[in-house]
Amino acid sequence: MRNDTRLLLCAAAVALAATGCKSNTVEETTAAEETTAAVEEALDPGTVTTLGEYVGVELTKDSTVVSDEELETRIQSILDANPEYTEVSRAAEEGDIVNIDYVGLKDGEAFDGGTAEGYDLELGSGAFIDGFEDGLIGVKTGDQRDLNLTFPENYGSEELAGQDVVFQVTVNAVKEVSDAVLDDSFVQRMSDFGTVDEFRADLLKSMEEEKEELAEQALQVAALQAVIGNSELDVNADAVEQQVNNQLAYYESMVQMYGMTLDDYVSIYGMTVDQFTEELRTMVETSIEQQLVVNAISEAENMEVNDDDLQFTADQLQMDLDELKENYAEELDTQAMVYKVVNYIIDNAVIQ
């Protein structure tokens, strides 16, 4: 679960008392606002006893070279995700795609969610209730078939759970699935390019840009962590616990909106609440350390956030600047200062 780049981007939000990192969405704020409204005044996060050297820091930037093997692996993943579909006149077999129209009837009446047109269904995928896909084995284009089925007792809809229904199915096409081959035809099907060479060149450029972005993010984290490692910090343990508790309250409020408990939520990630709490504690401790160092350097260098810094931050978070200003003005300024300090360290670093 822990992601150090994410820690850098969320340092301000976590260190400032904890409504949770807000870099992904502004819609999920209600629970956080209700939670933080009752939060006591944030405790002093701590002090910087000794600020380490932040000019001339030695850093190593990750390679942005895309190897032939990496390129071929990406191409193969694209081929695997986009197989060829060829219409056939034979009877449908397991593994084929059948394009169907269907209407689900209960007691002779169509029920909600039981009707579709032009639906591509892979036979054997298990996407539909038991008996639906098996009932279409052997159909041909133009066939009509009634499927007498029963919804499982534990089906999500109370109206349909355990109920007998009839699906009236019309088969529009039967398609055979085969592995895609990288040729001009595939390229033209999947992109605006006409040839394999053009496709390869564009994909290589995209992968290089991805690696460059990841390398820059890793360098940002490494820059700040290098200074933290050279500094002596006195982190307030009470402030850590306060922010951990605030984070837990935020998550509990958020998951309740979706009818879940915190146990339900963390189990999705294969964790217990205790493990989740420890991850939060590590994140909060790291974020406070980042906050302390950023504050110390910004004060030492008399830094102030300007419009360019705010725009840079919005670009990094891939969010609209006006939206950030409207909803998260304080957090935006603080995160902008994080980036300003980090970029100062990188601009004055020795990078290998």
Inter-residue contact 26 to 239 (CB < 8 Å): no
Q: Residues 312-324, buried b or exposed e (16+ Cβ, 10 A)?
A: bbbebbebebeeb
Q: What is the pLDDT of residue 25?
A: 36
d(CA 161, CA 145): 23
Residue that has been written with the tokens 């999705």 in this structure: 268
Closest CA to 64 of 270, 166, 174, 215: 215
Inter-residue contact 278 to 300 (CB < 8 Å): no
Tokens representing residue 238 in the block: 């009470």
Give the DSSP H or E segment for 31: helix 30-36
Query: What's the mean per-residue pLDDT of the chain?
Result: 89
Q: What is the pLDDT of residue 40?
A: 57
Residue 29 has pLDDT above 90, yes or no: no
The average pLDDT across 98-112 equals 96
Closest CA to 155 of 209, 111, 208, 200: 111
Closest CA to 117 of 103, 131, 96: 103
Q: What is the pLDDT of residue 349?
A: 97
The alpha carbon of 159 is separated from its chain's Cα centroid by a whole number of angstroms, namely: 34
Inter-residue contact 218 to 6 (CB < 8 Å): no
d(CA 142, CA 129): 23
Residue 335 has pLDDT above 80, yes or no: yes
Q: Quote the pTM value.
A: 0.70
Fill in the DSSP letter of residue 153. T
Residue 108 has pLDDT above 80, yes or no: yes
d(CA 204, CA 210): 10
